[in-house]
Amino acid sequence: MLWKRQIPILIVSLIGFATLLGWFFDQPTFKSFVDDDATQWFDILAAFAIFLGGLNLLKLQTQKVLMKQKGWQYSLFAIGGLLFAIVAGFFVKGNPEVAWGAHVTSKGTLFKWMFNYMVSPMQATMFALLAFYVASASYRAFRIRNFEATLLLSSGIIIMIGRVPLGSYISSWFILYLIVLVGGIVVNTIFKNKQYTAVAVLAGIILVTVTGSSMGWPVDKPAVFYLPYLQEWIYRYPNSAGSRSIMIGIGLGIFGTSIRYILGIERSYIGE
């Protein structure tokens, strides 16, 4: 119980307090422990732990191949890749002029070849898939289902068009005419009367046309309907307000969780 409960909690509390106080005190020895030594301890632990991870990977994939489990052929590639990386990293440099250690980043070595021609292209392939996933996710997010989704769609369109050069050529008056037409849809939905709708749309069009003629149809006026300005406003105000409130919540959550660990209130990480 002492080794499984009290001592881990004590270590977490001590290191937690030390790290927290390291921000407030500039005593050199203490500062160097918090900033350098403690993080190096973690790196050393992680470096040893990677052996556990590698062995676990090898064990599972080998089991899959031996037992001919579903998709065992893929495991052959996983095992082959792991062994090839070990050989290229520890046994075969491929370029005798390069020193051991430097061979992982130097040109002309087997490890660098593996990185440039296998690892990098495969990572790029996975990253490129993101574009298609963004498209399919956007399609689902922008489907008009309710008021919030409609709001998201409108904001999304304004931001997308307002941020490209084409957006600056779209006059505010064009947006105003669009708003008049959308207003017509709203009137029709509420009153379900063609005459009312026609009157509302006509009145709107006349109002916009008269105002536009009197002002000389400037592209960016009224500024509130000019897409580059509008997108900037959406991005800087409603968007910032929302993201900052989430940020404050996240900050508080992290603070609360950290304090719970340091004070030993939260003990779930040791299985309690």
Partner 1 sequence: MNDREFLIGSGVFAASFIIYLSIGAPHFITGRLVMFFSIVLFSGILIYSTRKAQRGEDIFLRTIPGLKAVEEAVGRSTEMGKPVLFVPGISDMDQVETVAGVIVLGHVSKMTARYETPLNVPVSRAIVMKAAREACKESYLVEGRPDMFHEDMVHYVTDEQFAYAAGVNGIMVREKPAACVYMGKFYAESLILAETGNSIGAIQIAGTASQSQIPFFVTACDYTLIGEEFFAASAYLSDKPELVGAVKGQDMIKVIILILIFSGVILRMLFDLGYLNMNILELLTVR
Q: How far is the CB of 19 from partner 1 (least distance, A)?
A: 10
Question: Is residue 10 a contact residue for partner 1 (CB under 8 A)?
Answer: no
Phi, psi for 225 (deg, rounded to 5): -105, 5
Question: Should residue 249 be labelled a site residue for partner 1 when binding is judged by CB under 8 A?
Answer: yes
Q: Specify the residue, 30 or 191, whose C-beta has the smaller distance to partner 1.
A: 30
Would you count residue 206 as binding partner 1 (CB under 8 A)?
A: no
Candidate list 71, 101, 165, 216; residue touching partner 1; CB under 8 A: 71
Residue in the block written with tokens 């409130």: 245
Residue 239 binds partner 1, judged by CB under 8 A: no
* Residue 71 CB, nearest approach to partner 1 (Å): 5
Q: Per rule CB under 8 A, is residue 129 in the interface with partner 1?
A: yes
Choose one: 67-75, 87-95, 176-184, 218-226; the region binding partner 1 (CB under 8 A).
67-75
d(CA 173, CA 130): 37
Stretch that binds partner 1, among 25-33, 89-97, 185-193, 205-213 (CB under 8 A): 25-33
By CB under 8 A, is residue 150 in contact with partner 1?
no
Q: Please report whether residue 108 would count as binding partner 1 according to CB under 8 A.
A: no
User: Can you list the pairs that 15-19 forms with residues at least 24 positions away whose Cβ atoms lie under 8 Å?
Assistant: 16/258, 16/261, 16/262, 17/262
Q: How far is the CB of 270 from partner 1 (least distance, A)?
A: 7
Size of the site for partner 1 (CB under 8 A): 61
Q: What is the dihedral of CA 230, 236, 240, 242, to 10 degrees?
A: -20
Q: How far is 82 from 267, CA to CA, in rounded Å?
A: 37
Closest separation in Å from C-beta 41 to partner 1: 11
Q: Quick one: angle between helices 227-236 and 238-262, nearest 10?
A: 20
* CA max distance for the chain: 88
The tokens for 228 are: 């580059």
